[in-house]
């Protein structure tokens, strides 16, 4: 499944867009791969493979303008594309704001509106964020030293919404985050050499 999605996502020029020192394609597919490892449903894995295709508040590069949503829907389906759209457009800090029960309210700042999420969508977005952050943490040597503890605290706050596998992985990666180890990983994967510090 991810091999086919990788071919599809590449059609949108993601190999030419850098995401913290490696092609966006790599980050998208690895995010989907984490979700697959955790036993996520195919819809969520597909969403992971396209999760920031429209850009996000933090990663502003857009491989596809949001006006072309229908093209992405044809590839990954309506449910997965809805998750991608929400992931890209939402102020995701609201996922960690202590909302206790559905419906959960999340703002879409660029559209000056908000949406209400059901339990399934809320949990899916948190799982997707966990995969995004885990892959990012393993490939961002220049993240602030407090990044690991920052994200760990947020995932602790939504522990009951994360799958056990996602929670264990996030804890392991974020509690042990070390920029030198990330640089070593980047070098071993071929994304960084000694000339690129």
- Domain presence at residue 196: no
CA-wise closest residue to 31 among 50, 12, 16, 14 = 50
Interatomic CA distance for residues 114 and 65, integer angstroms: 20
Q: What is the mean pLDDT of residues 112-122?
A: 94
Q: What percent of the chain has pLDDT over 90?
A: 86
pLDDT at res. 197: 45
- In this predicted structure, the answer to whether residue 185 has a pLDDT above a threshold of 70 is yes
Residues 129-154: tens digit of each pLDDT: 999 999 999 999 989 889 999 999 99
- State which residues form the domain around 103: 2-183
Containing 113, the helix (H) or strand (E) segment is strand 113-117
The helix, strand and coil proportions of the chain, stated in percent and rounded to the nearest 5, come to 60, 5, 35
Query: Domain for residue 197, yes or no?
Result: no
pLDDT digits (tens, 9 = 90+) for 155-174: 999 999 999 999 999 999 99
**Residue 110 — very low, low, confident or very high, per pLDDT cuts 50/70/90?**
confident
Token reading at 123? 């949990």
Looking at the domain assignment, is residue 190 inside a domain? no
Q: How many domains does the chain have?
A: 1
Strand duo 104-108 + 113-117: pairing: antiparallel
Q: Would you say residue 34 lies in a domain? A: yes
Q: Which span out of 24-33, 89-98, 106-115, 178-187 was modeled with the highest average pLDDT?
A: 24-33
Considering the domain boundaries, does residue 155 fall inside one? yes
**Is 195 inside a domain boundary?**
no
DSSP bridge pairs for 22: 19
User: How many other C-beta atoms can be found within 10 angstroms of the C-beta atom of residue 122?
Assistant: 22
């Amino acid at each position: 499944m991810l091999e086919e999605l990788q071919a599809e996502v590449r059609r949108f020029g993601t190999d030419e867009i850098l995401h913290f020192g490696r092609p966006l394609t790599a980050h998208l597919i690895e995010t989907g791969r984490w979700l697959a490892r955790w036993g996520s449903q195919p819809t969520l894995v597909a969403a992971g493979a396209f999760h920031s295709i429209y850009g996000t508040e933090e990663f502003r590069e857009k491989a596809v303008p949001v006006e072309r949503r229908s093209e992405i829907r044809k590839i990954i389906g309506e449910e997965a594309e809805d998750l991608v759209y929400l992931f890209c457009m939402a102020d995701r800090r609201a996922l960690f704001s202590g909302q206790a029960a559905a419906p959960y309210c999340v703002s879409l700042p660029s559209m000056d509106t908000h949406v209400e999420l059901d339990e399934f969508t809320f949990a899916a977005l948190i799982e997707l964020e966990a995969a995004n952050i885990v892959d990012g943490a393993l490939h961002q040597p220049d993240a602030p030293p407090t990044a690991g503890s920052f994200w760990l605290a947020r995932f602790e706050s939504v522990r009951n919404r994360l799958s056990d596998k996602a929670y264990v992985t996030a804890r392991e990666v974020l509690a042990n985050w070390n920029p030198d180890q990330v640089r070593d990983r980047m070098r071993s994967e071929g994304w960084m050499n000694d000339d690129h510090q």
